[in-house]
Amino acid sequence: MPDHHRLLPRLFARLAPGGRIVTQLPSNDDSVAHDALVALADEEPFRSAMAKRVEDWPTLSAAAYAQLLWSVDELPDADAVVEWMKGTTVVPYLERLPRAQHAPFLQRYTSALRVAMPDKPLFFGFKRTLFAASSAA
């Protein structure tokens, strides 16, 4: 779908409280395979035979999506980042600590993030890597 600058805020506005948007978008338009495909389609006899030119994918850069989503919903402060991180990344640290040290550990982590991330609200660019592979048939 085109016009992600308008689409994403509209989709985000439709979320229930606490809801999330999770997407997967093709972002391979800078690959050799994509360049070769576009170049071939621009050669004759293929260019003349196509009813119309194939449009570029409407995918934005990761940074553009991050900025776009931050503009519609940001984290209020560093404490919210700690809560986010407690969902996955903090878990193995707490698993290795005695329960009595969980609260002091989280308090020191929160203090450190308050210094490192003082903005209110703040942008928290949480990156993910998605990959796929197939074995030969």
DSSP state of 45: T
Mean pLDDT for 47-71 is 79
Q: Residue 92 class from Cβ within 10 Å (0-12 exposed, 13-18 middle, 19+ buried)?
A: exposed
pTM: 0.55
Helix, strand, or coil here: 83?
helix
Given a contact cutoff of 8 angstroms between Cβ atoms, the answer to whether 103 and 44 are in contact is: no
Separation of alpha carbons 27 and 49, rounded Å: 27
- pLDDT, one tens digit per residue, over 77-110 is 999 999 989 988 999 999 999 999 999 999 999 9
**H-helix or E-strand spanning residue 38:** helix 32-41
Place 71 in a pLDDT band, splitting at 50, 70 and 90. low
Helix, strand, or coil here: 57?
coil
CA dihedral 38, 39, 43, 49 (to 10 degrees): 0
Q: Where are the domains of the chain?
A: 1-73, 74-137
